[in-house]
Amino acid sequence: MRLLNFFAVCATSALLAGCAGYHLGPVNGAVAGEKSIEVLPFNNQTLEPRLGDAVTQALRERLQTDGTYHLATSAPGDVVVTGVITRYNREGLSYLDTDVATTENYRIGIIAHVIMRERSSGKVLLDKSVDGYTLVHVGTDLADAERQSLPLLAEDLAHNVAELITEGAW
């Protein structure tokens, strides 16, 4: 019986120690929804069409889901996020077994320069280049495969940007 109680105490201690680092709510010290955030449309300086719209929409959805900031839709936000997509690249990862010159899988990457400012003071809170990527399997049409991967690429970049914004690790 003593041995059983000892194991119960050890298991409870391990469980409580594992939860000691958990933090409920925003990790940057802010109160959830206290400040509003406005995401302006991203400027696309690449040759890939519709990239700016996809990234802007994905970032707005990600920030709204996170809840650290209230997404400003009808009035100006306390914090303003702007971005410029500076690079879109495609890198071959694997090639066909029968033809070593034909790429079968690509890694599509994107880089955006993101700036976050307080509206009232103009103070820059974040000024950083952020990247995102996705993997694309090319079937019969590379252009169609890239077009279908665009939401995944935008979502990965939005995830990385939102993580920087909400965690306050600027």
Q: Residue 15: its pLDDT value, please?
A: 65
Annotated domain spans of the chain: 28-167
Q: Residue 165: its pLDDT value, please?
A: 93
Q: Measure the CA–CA gap between 111 and 47, rounded to whole angstroms.
A: 13
pLDDT in tens, the chain (170 residues): 677 777 777 777 766 665 555 444 555 555 566 899 999 999 999 999 999 999 999 999 999 999 889 999 888 999 999 999 999 999 998 888 888 788 889 999 999 999 999 999 999 999 999 999 999 998 788 889 888 999 999 999 999 999 999 987 54
Q: Residue 17: its pLDDT value, please?
A: 62
Cβ neighbors of 131 (< 8 A, separation 6 or more) are: 109, 110, 111, 112, 157, 160
Given the candidates 3.40.50.1820, 3.30.9.10, 3.30.420.40, 3.30.160.150, the CATH classification of the domain at 28-167 is 3.30.160.150
Count other Cβ atoms within 10 Å, centred on residue 149: 17
